Structure 1
Amino acid sequence: MTTRPIARRVTATDIARSLGISRATVGFVLNNTPGQTISSATRDRVRAEAARLGYRPHLAARALASGRTNIVLMVLPDWPIEHNLRANLDEATQALDEAGYSLVPTTPHPSDHARPLWETLQPDLVLSLTPLSAELEAQIRSAGARLLNPKLADEATLGILEEFGRGPALQVAHLIELGHKKIRFASTSDARLADLTADRERTAREASTVFGADFDTQTVDHHNIGATLRTWHEEGVTAVAAYNDDIAALVVSAAVRQGLPVPGRLAVIGHDDSPLARLTVPALSTVRVDTGGVGRYMAALALREIGDVTIGIAEPPPMHAPQIVIRESTVPVKPSSTVPTA
């Protein structure tokens, strides 16, 4: 039985030997070392030969020499990877890549047994999307990692993140403007989103109090949505603000099955402006949030915190404020009438 030899990494020494030049010259070219009087022709030869041989830089050695790994580790909460989070990660990844950094997401769990990535990767920065517990923050700092945590952000950043959370207030204001006085907030049963759901419920309730609306919340899922809709109809509820577009689509689908026209008898508004909002029949009115903008903003904050003078740190880019997108699922309130029983 024969075994295939293990491919050996191509080194700068291999390139130097192939071209008949010094190892130091090759190193200066590959590392873009400043202050060297190496001709353009030699530089081109070195780069061409490196490409021909399949040279790849040794990242660990480069990190040791430069003191940087060019890695930003993003600590994510234990949320499902939905439309908003995907858009955030995509934009942050692209912004960091343009600056020469790699974004690596990680989600810590209490039951984790593997060595945490902030120890194994030695990132230039650990970036958190949400405030961390004191215990987790201490673990990251004890590993010698630099941490950028939202709860320690400057006033400008905190103000932007607060503005970003105004979506539920916009939902309620939109329904009030249409004449709806009895509004219910439909929240998700996903336990991973409990904190975020509570924040959105609280924001919607505060807005309802300001407007003097009859407001309450209800956790809904596929099992209880039918009974919940019947209860809402008995209570004279005419509008629903949903935690997100998935929950809004669930409400619309169940209402149609019960013979409860949307938006004729029940107005429904979602949150996030995910692709589902445009595909639902009727198409969902919703709140559009600039999650991609948040990703770019957080990436800019990360680069500013790292302080890499070679990339020309700019001020964080602006974000668009949340806004209502009006489609087919919300109309002005109509006088109540009998609804077919399911």
Structure 2
Amino acid sequence: MAGTGAKRRVTAADIARSLGVSRATVGYVLNNTPGQTISEATRRRVLDEASRLGYRPHTSAQRLASGRSRIILLVLPDWPMGFTFSKHLEEASAALDEAGYSLVTYTRRAGGHSRPLWEVLEPDVVIGYAMMVGLDAFSPDELDSLHAAGVTKVFPDPRLPGASSPDAASVAAIVAGARRQVQHLHSLGHRRLAIALSADPRHALLAESRSRAARHAAEQLELGVVDARPVDYRDGSADRAVEAWHETGVTAVVAFNDETAAATVGAAVRAGLSVPGDLAVVGHDDTPLAAMFVPSISSVRFDTAGLGHYLAEIALHEAEGRPLSRQVPDLDATVVVRESTGPVNTDAGGDP
């Protein structure tokens, strides 16, 4: 009885034999080789026959021929994958797909033992996402590993002469939300603020960046930031923070994200405080939680599509030298006003 082995891959030679044309002609058409005088009719015949026979490009051979894998490797910090972060990456992936590239993400784990993906995938470009918040994207050891693996396009790579570096605006795009939070509360008359940080240690560096931006914005507006502390709905820290803030005259809280905002609002309600009458709270990221929570949470909304496209542009600039034509949407962070923020309650002793 005949064996049932795997179906043989259709090759360019099969297409050439079927059409009675040269292998070179088929290769020129399938690879879209420039400078060839192949008629449109012949090109169409080759493509139609390739489709009929079920031809699929041999990616390894294409990589050897072109020197490209068409893979962009995005190296992520060990952050929780929140709603806005995932939407941002979805937009970048879609934009790169339109350009013929696949976006692959790789999260570095503290103390991890897996082999770095850049040693396995042979990506065209490796991008360190941490640069988007002004952090070092790669350690010296990682840069050594990247170069040893033959990766020639790394963003950012401070070792290369004239190397690309993160646009200051791309960093501003991440911390702009904290600025908007403070400005929103200031416009409502609040003068004594507190900052609710994430209790997740994986958020520490990003939380520090946003906290620093919030403090700077408050200083510019001559506001007092009374305290900044992590809050968590599971361990009582949110209840303790709200009690301390209320006792020291805080009337509004800048929250790291919508989860910390929800923990803060919940603690205020349990303490018998009204929101926003006694304590206004503004979140960050405008996740579905913000709209569904009761009371609904005012939150910062980002242009995730714009940020995703900007990340894709960085990748295509590194891969093909395409110009960075888009303006970074650093000023597109806006506050979606909901029930958790309102004017300062002067009757309750708040500053006028």
The two structures have a TM-score, normalised by structure 1, of: 0.88
Is 1:137 aligned to 2:148, yes or no? Answer: no
8 A Cα contact 2:89 2:308, kept in partner: yes
Is 1:148 aligned to 2:167, yes or no? Answer: no
1:313-328 equivalence runs, <5 A: 313-320=322-329, 321=331, 322-328=333-339
* CA-to-aligned-CA distance 1:236-280 (integer Å, 9 cap, x gap): 322111001121122223323333221122101011222222222
**Structure 2 counterpart SS, 1:97:** helix
- Residue in structure 1 matched with residue 65 of structure 2 by the alignment: 65
Change (3 A) 1:240 1:84: same
Identity within the alignment, %: 48
1:187 to 197, 215, 238: 197
Please give the alpha-carbon distance, in whole angstroms, between the structure 1 residues aligned to 2:49 and 2:283.
Answer: 56
- Residue in structure 1 matched with residue 133 of structure 2 by the alignment: none
Question: 1:12 Cα deviation (Å)?
Answer: 1.1
Please give the alpha-carbon distance, in whole angstroms, between the structure 2 residues aligned to 1:165 and 1:6.
Answer: 53
Change (3 A) 1:139 1:110: farther
Greater alpha carbon shift after TM alignment, 257-266 vs 79-88: 257-266
Please give the alpha-carbon distance, in whole angstroms, between the structure 2 residues aligned to 1:2 and 1:259.
Answer: 79
* Counterpart code for 1:132: F
Please give the alpha-carbon distance, in whole angstroms, between the structure 1 residues aligned to 2:183 and 2:37.
Answer: 66
Please give the alpha-carbon distance, in whole angstroms, between the structure 2 residues aligned to 1:144 and 1:97.
Answer: 24
Please give the alpha-carbon distance, in whole angstroms, between the structure 2 residues aligned to 1:256 and 1:214.
Answer: 22
Unaligned runs of 5+ in 2: 131-136
Greater alpha carbon shift after TM alignment, 188-197 vs 326-335: 326-335
Please give the alpha-carbon distance, in whole angstroms, between the structure 2 residues aligned to 1:164 and 1:188.
Answer: 16
8 A Cα contact 1:236 1:336, kept in partner: no
Report how many aligned residue pairs link the two structures: 333
**Structure 2 counterpart SS, 1:13:** helix
8 A Cα contact 1:150 1:158, kept in partner: no
* CA-to-aligned-CA distance 1:110-132 (integer Å, 9 cap, x gap): 44444322122111111111122
8 A Cα contact 1:285 1:329, kept in partner: yes
Is 1:177 aligned to 2:187, yes or no? Answer: yes
In angstroms, what is the RMSD of aligned CA positions? 2.4
**Structure 1 counterpart SS, 2:193:** strand
* Counterpart code for 2:70: N
Question: 1:186 Cα deviation (Å)?
Answer: 0.7
1:1-342 equivalence runs, <5 A: 4-130=4-130, 131-145=137-151, 146-149=153-156, 153-154=164-165, 157-210=167-220, 211-222=222-233, 223-224=235-236, 225-307=238-320, 313-320=322-329, 321=331, 322-335=333-346, 337=348
Please give the alpha-carbon distance, in whole angstroms, between the structure 1 residues aligned to 2:3 and 2:201.
Answer: 50
Please give the alpha-carbon distance, in whole angstroms, between the structure 1 residues aligned to 2:274 and 2:112.
Answer: 48
* CA-to-aligned-CA distance 1:107-157 (integer Å, 9 cap, x gap): 1234444432212211111111112222222221232212012876457x1
Unaligned runs of 5+ in 1: none
The two structures have a TM-score, normalised by structure 2, of: 0.86
